[in-house]
Structure 1
Amino acid sequence: MNFLVVAHDSADGDTLAKRASLRDEHQKGVISYVQSNKLLDGGVIIVTGNPVGSALLFDVPDRKTLDAIIAADPYMKAGVWDRIEIYELARPDPAAMRSLKD
C-alpha cells in the first residue's frame, strides 16, 4: 500500500535546532527505508526559506507498519514533528506512466 505522509514541524522555538541536531540519525532511517524499498520519495517542506515539515511517500504492507515507522523516527520522538497527516495513495503503474512520456 502506498501512503503519503505530511509531517508538520512543531512551532516551538527550538524546533530548527532539534531538526539540525537529529538530521544524521533521521537520515540513517531514511537510507534504510529507501534501500528496503519502503520509502519511495520524500523531502523537507520549505516555506519562505525555512523547513516547516516533511513529505514522505511510503510503500508498506499496511497502516500498522507505517505507524511503527513514524513512531520510531527521531523527529517524531523528539517532538520536531507535532502533527502527522497520512493519506492512502492510489498510484498508477510506473511502467504505464513512463510510456506516457514517449
Structure 2
Amino acid sequence: MQRSDGVQTAQDRLRVWTEHKATHVDMDREFVRAPFVDAPDPSTMQVIFDCRPSAVLWKGLMIEVVNQLDSAEGIRRIGFWDLITNLAHPASTVGAV
C-alpha cells in the first residue's frame, strides 16, 4: 500500500461490491465466508477469497474485485497468491515491482 488509508479504502470498496453482488449471486454457494481484507503488515494487504470446493464463479468475481481496487488511489496490486499452495500465480506477477 502506498497510503495509510489503503486498507480502509479496500474494505469499503469490497463491502459495497459484496452488497451489490449478493443481490444476484449466491455468495454462500461460492464462499465459506464473504471475501475480506487482511493486512499482515503496515505496507501489505490481501483480499482473501475463502472459496468452497464446488465454487465455479470465484475467478470472475475475483477479477471484478481486482478492477474495483485497481482504480483506488494508494493501492497497487502485485499479484495473486494462492494460500493453499503458498505460491504466487506466475502469470499474475509479470511486471510487478
Short-chain TM bin: 0.3 to 0.5
Larger helix proportion, structure 1 or 2? 1
Give the number of the structure whose alpha-carbon radius of gyration is greater: 1
TM-score in terms of structure 2 length: 0.48
Larger strand proportion, structure 1 or 2? 1
Structure with greater contact order relative to length (CA < 8 Å, sep ≥ 6)? 1
